[in-house]
Every structure is written in C-alpha cells, then in structure tokens.
Amino acid sequence: MRYNRVLVKLSGAAMAGDKECGFDPDSLNHIADEVLRLHNNNVEVAIVVGGGNIFRGELGEKWGIERAEADNIGMIATVANSLMLRGVLTAK
C-alpha cells in the first residue's frame, strides 16, 4: 500500500445509499468492507463521519429550530452514524 495512514471523510448520505434518510445495509456493508480491506493491508484508518442522513441544518431552519439546537442535533447524528459504522465493522 502507498500510505500507512489515511483519513476518510464519510458523509451521512453515503450511509443512507439511495434513501433520503436513515441507513442502507448494502451501503454500510460496502463501506465496512473497504475500511477492513485497508486495515487488513496494515493501513491505519481514521474516519470522520457526517450526519446528513439523519439531520441537516436547513431542516432545522424550516422547523424554526434555533441554530445552537440544530448544531446539537447534528452532532448527535454524527455520533449515531459513528456507532452504526462501528457496529457493522465489529460484526465483521
């Protein structure tokens, strides 16, 4: 492998696949397989996960949610996505 370490920015939308929101099992399995392929080739993988498949800022604006509260919801969405990806990776 060319690199010893990589940083992957993974959008929440990538975890949703073709769905507008939520999780797509095929997409999650594909992502996990690619991460594990790198890991199995002795590449250290760091992942930054977005939360757009659960909540987006413009949705908060439409609903009249204050910016700080919308930011909190977005942060929780990223945690949920991180836990989901970790669960899929651990199951493999």
Q: In CATH, what number is assigned to the domain containing residue 82? A: 3.40.1160.10
Percent of the chain predicted with pLDDT > 70: 99
Compute the residue count for the chain.
92
pLDDT at 21 exceeding the cut of 90: no
The tokens 């073709």 sit on which residue? Answer: 18
pLDDT at 87 exceeding the cut of 80: yes
Per-residue pLDDT band for 53 (boundaries 50, 70, 90) equals confident
Range of the domain at 21: 5-91
The tokens 């993988």 sit on which residue? Answer: 45
Q: Higher model confidence: residue 81 or residue 55?
A: 81
- 59-67 mean pLDDT: 91
HSE-up of 37 (CA within 13 Å, CB side)? 7
* The model's pTM: 0.87
Number of domains in the chain: 1
